[in-house]
């Protein structure tokens, strides 16, 4: 709702994800927006990887609603914002109790990749190394194989 209290989508988001925006009428729970649900249904998929600006509202409400309608939802909590640790913990517990699979971006990435032998295995390692403590393992491998 660009004219409401949230304002337009932040340019930092559209710079990365593109500017195809689902305009909602004002529903706080995105799942209550017919446009949002149509966009999800149009993918033809029942598995959803979801994140939100804030974990306890933008992520939690539609994730729980989607699970209630038979979707398999992965809520990526470290790709979602939060006010503090208590808020994140409460949201994670509530989502888990409702059947949402609470996950992190790196575990989702690794699950999608599935096998280090993939043609993108080294790229996965590099991404994980750039953003997590996995860099110690990755750098050790590069040193051992003289790839540094």
- What is the per-residue pLDDT across 43-81, written as a single tens digit (0 to 9) for each? 999 999 999 999 999 999 999 999 999 999 999 999 999
Return the structure tokens found at 76: 């990526």
Q: Pick from 105, 23, 141: which is nearest to 113 by CA?
A: 105
At 13 the pLDDT is 84
Residue 108: closest CA among 81, 77, 137, 83: 77
Residues 92 and 124 in one domain: no
Note whether 119 and 90 are same-domain residues.
Answer: no
Q: Which domain holds residue 37?
A: 1-103
Count of domains forming the chain: 2
Question: Is the domain of 19 the same as that of 46?
Answer: yes
Does pLDDT of 29 surpass 90? yes
Q: Give the burial class of 32: count Cβ atoms within 10 A of its Cβ; 0-12 exposed, 13-18 middle, 19 or more buried.
A: middle
- Say how far apart CA 11 and CA 5 lie, in whole Å: 16
Q: Are residues 55 and 82 in the same domain?
A: yes
Binned at pLDDT 50, 70 and 90, residue 148 comes out as low
Contact by Cβ (8 Å): 120, 86: no
pLDDT over 90 at 7, yes or no: no
pTM as predicted: 0.86
Both 90 and 130 in a single domain? no
Cβ atoms within 10 Å, residue 67: 19
Residue 13 and residue 25 share a domain: yes
Note the pLDDT of residue 19: 82
* 1-10, 51-60, 134-143: least confident range: 1-10
Task: Identify the band that residue 89 occupies on the pLDDT scale cut at 50, 70 and 90.
Answer: very high
Clarify whether residues 41 and 114 are in a common domain.
no
142 in the same domain as 82? no
In this predicted model, what pLDDT tens digit does every residue of 95-134 receive, in sequence order? 999 999 999 999 999 999 999 999 999 999 999 999 999 9
Is the pLDDT score of 2 beyond 80?
no
Instruction: Quote the pLDDT of residue 4.
Output: 79
What are the residue numbers of the active site? 58
């Amino acid at each position: 709702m660009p004219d409401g209290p949230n304002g337009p989508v932040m340019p930092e988001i559209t710079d990365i994800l593109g500017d195809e925006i689902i305009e909602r009428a004002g529903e706080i729970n995105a799942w209550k927006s017919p446009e949002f649900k149509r966009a999800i249904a149009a993918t033809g998929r029942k598995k959803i990887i979801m994140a939100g600006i804030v974990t306890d509202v933008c992520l939690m409400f539609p994730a729980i609603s989607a699970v209630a309608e038979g979707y398999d939802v992965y809520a990526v909590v470290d790709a979602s914002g939060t006010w503090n640790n208590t808020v994140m913990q409460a949201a994670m517990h509530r989502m888990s109790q409702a059947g949402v699979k609470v996950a992190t971006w790196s575990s989702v990435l690794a699950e999608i990749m599935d096998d280090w032998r993939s043609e993108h295995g080294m790229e996965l390692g590099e991404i994980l190394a750039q953003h997590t403590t996995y860099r110690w393992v990755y750098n050790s491998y590069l040193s051992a194989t003289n790839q540094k």
